[in-house]
């Protein structure tokens, strides 16, 4: 797990996430929740010069972080992954207890990225 400074809202947590991924050599842009009347499920999109593209869904500790809520969100992201509508990777980042727990979303579920999580869904 990676320790980050104390943040109190999803917006400030979003800046921490941007800083974290930019430190890994990515460019990052914020995605608004709605585009052309359609809800976009991601807050950030990141890319690097090697062609890697990542769509990132964030959740802050102020959100409803029950295991069921997190499971439901991962299930929804898995369904999005299956559509193939978004090229590249889909990741789900949860800010909790001063750390990011990051999950890689696959068509069959989600796996922790390195040792940053203690559960799979």
Instruction: Dig out the tokens for 25 from the structure.
Output: 């050599």
The pLDDT tens digits of the residues spanning 29-85 come to 988 766 566 778 899 999 999 999 999 999 876 655 678 888 999 999 999 999 999
d(CA 114, CA 103): 9
Task: Give just the sign of the alpha carbon dihedral 64, 41, 118, 1.
Answer: negative
Q: Domain 2-112: give its CATH architecture.
A: 3-Layer(aba) Sandwich (3.40)
Rounded to a whole number of angstroms, the CA Rg of the chain reads 14
Domains of the chain by residue range: 2-112
> The whole model's pTM is what?
0.81
């Amino acid at each position: 797990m990676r320790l980050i400074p104390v943040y109190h809202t999803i917006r400030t947590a979003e800046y921490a996430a941007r800083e974290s991924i930019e430190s890994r050599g990515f460019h990052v842009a914020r995605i608004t929740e709605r585009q052309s009347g359609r809800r976009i499920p991601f807050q950030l999109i990141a890319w690097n010069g090697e062609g890697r593209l990542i769509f990132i869904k964030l959740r802050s500790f102020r959100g409803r972080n029950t295991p069921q809520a997190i499971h439901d969100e991962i299930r929804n992201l898995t369904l999005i992954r299956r559509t193939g509508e978004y090229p590249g990777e889909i990741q789900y980042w949860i800010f909790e207890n001063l750390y990011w727990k990051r999950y890689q979303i696959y068509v069959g579920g989600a796996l922790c990225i390195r040792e940053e999580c203690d559960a799979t869904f």
